[in-house]
């Protein structure tokens, strides 16, 4: 595979949310490449580039979302292929705290699943006690928390406190508008890291939880 070309073509298809083009690309690559090569050398770098374009204000949320949806399609196509790499043991979960807006969670989930992370979805509109109970029960290692409003973002402090009170070393990664507007907020609420866009999620999960694909 010419990785640079594959990344370019994937990025173009993803940015345009062109799911048919993504299906064609995956179909062309599958006979010649392993699942991991397609993910690591083409799909994930293309998604990261799309994330950078969003960060730089060069594409809109509609386009970023379309890219996430197209990546979901690619991931589903690749899912039946055999894995050549041993799965890691980090358990990664995602949830929306105190809000019904699911877009951020969905985007992050699309990036992580495209990157080969087996993700546990804990749901939306969860209170801090409910989220912590679910995460502890599932023995999560890395918990990704999405928020929309400042009120929800500040509740992360309660999540972290409850986890530590329970003796858990679970790593907490936050994201959402309040954390983009106030870059210091994630430290204030005691999170381990903050993702400014969905494109950050994979690297953060790898850093905090070890290689999980």
Interface residues with other proteins (CB under 8 A) are 17, 57, 60-63, 65-66, 69, 99-103, 106, 125, 149-151, 154, 177-178, 181-182, 184-185
User: Measured from the CB of residue 147, what is the shortest distance to other proteins in angstroms?
Assistant: 11
DSSP 198: G
Query: Is residue 187 a contact partner of residue 168, using CB atoms and an 8 Å limit?
Result: no
| C-alpha closest to that of 47 among 75, 20, 28, 23 | 75
Query: Is residue 21 a contact partner of residue 6, using CB atoms and an 8 Å limit?
Result: no
User: Measured from the CB of residue 106, what is the shortest distance to other proteins in angstroms?
Assistant: 6
Q: How far apart are CA 29 and CA 35, in angstroms?
A: 9
- Nearer of residues 84 and 100 to other proteins, judged by Cβ: 100
- Nearer of residues 1 and 154 to other proteins, judged by Cβ: 154
User: Measured from the CB of residue 161, what is the shortest distance to other proteins in angstroms?
Assistant: 15
- Nearer of residues 103 and 130 to other proteins, judged by Cβ: 103
Report helix, strand or coil for 93: strand
Phi, psi of 156 (to 5 degrees): -60, -35
User: Measured from the CB of residue 188, what is the shortest distance to other proteins in angstroms?
Assistant: 9
- Nearer of residues 95 and 140 to other proteins, judged by Cβ: 95
Q: Roughly what angle, to the nearest 10 degrees, separates helices 19-29 and 61-78?
A: 30
Query: Is residue 107 a contact partner of residue 65, using CB atoms and an 8 Å limit?
Result: yes
- Nearer of residues 161 and 206 to other proteins, judged by Cβ: 161
Question: How many residues in total does the chain contain?
Answer: 213
User: Measured from the CB of residue 118, what is the shortest distance to other proteins in angstroms?
Assistant: 22
């Amino acid at each position: 595979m010419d990785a640079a070309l594959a990344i370019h073509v994937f990025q173009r298809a993803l940015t345009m949310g062109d799911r048919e083009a993504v299906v064609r690309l995956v179909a062309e690559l599958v006979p010649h490449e392993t699942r991991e090569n397609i993910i690591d050398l083409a799909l994930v770098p293309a998604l990261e580039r799309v994330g950078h374009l969003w960060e730089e204000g060069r594409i809109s949320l509609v386009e970023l979302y379309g890219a996430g949806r197209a990546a979901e399609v690619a991931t589903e196509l690749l899912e039946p292929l055999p894995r050549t790499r041993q799965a890691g043991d980090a358990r990664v979960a995602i949830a929306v705290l105190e809000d019904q807006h699911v877009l951020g969670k969905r985007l992050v989930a699309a990036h992580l699943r495209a990157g080969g992370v087996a993700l546990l979805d804990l749901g939306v509109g969860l209170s801090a006690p409910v989220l912590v109970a679910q995460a502890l029960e599932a023995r999560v290692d890395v918990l990704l928390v999405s928020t929309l409003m400042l009120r929800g973002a500040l509740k992360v402090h309660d999540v972290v406190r409850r986890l530590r009170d329970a003796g858990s070393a679970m790593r907490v990664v936050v994201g959402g508008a309040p954390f983009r507007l106030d870059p210091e907020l994630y430290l204030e609420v005691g999170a381990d890291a903050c993702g400014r866009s969905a494109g950050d999620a994979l690297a953060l999960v790898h850093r905090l939880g070890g290689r999980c694909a």
